[in-house]
Amino acid sequence: MFKYTRVQLNRSETTVITLDVPPWEVPVLAAVNGEDRIQVIGETPVNKMLPDPAAEFDRLVTRYKHGGDSEMPYVAAVYGIGQRGVEQLAKEIAKAGRDAEAPPVQGAEYDANDDPLGGLFTDLMPNRTATEAVEIRE
């Protein structure tokens, strides 16, 4: 078991979205949206095992892709490219496991396809089409 981090994403003066994401995903959200638009407001315990770092790195690459003219995925910009990035992400995942108050529950698996964005993927990813978002979520 570990805890999701509850964040508020300030999209505009009138639009604020609350999201529960794994703690290692917060820096990626900040890279995508701007650090000044992300505010950590709490934690939510989840009954899931920690994910495999390589699979989680791939999930984050798929979810957030890259921005503008850059070909570097946001997750690589935050954690590093290739194996180095996976190793840095593994450290953050392990830290989330150590920071959790309760030990992991056997049999509860982390679903890499969970959508902590609550269906708001296309709103958060302006460079993705709705069709691409649906394909990724399936």
Residues 38 and 71 sit within 8 Å (Cβ to Cβ): no
Give the pLDDT of the chain (138 residues) as one tens digit per residue. 789 999 999 988 899 999 999 999 999 999 999 999 999 999 999 988 999 999 999 999 999 988 777 889 999 999 999 999 999 999 999 999 887 654 544 444 445 455 444 444 434 444 443 333 333 333
pLDDT at 100: 66
Which residue, among 53, 38, 45, 44, has the nearest Cα to 92 in the 3D structure? 53
The helix/strand/coil state of 75 is helix
pLDDT at 137: 36
Which residue, among 72, 122, 124, 127, has the nearest Cα to 137 in the 3D structure? 122
Phi and psi dihedrals of 9, rounded to 5?
Answer: -105, 115
Question: Which residues contact residue 92 at a Cβ distance below 8 angstroms, ignoring those fewer than 6 apart?
Answer: 23, 24, 79
Which residue, among 13, 18, 23, has the nearest Cα to 124 in the 3D structure? 18
Residues 31 and 74 sit within 8 Å (Cβ to Cβ): yes
pLDDT at 99: 76
Domain ranges of the chain: 2-137
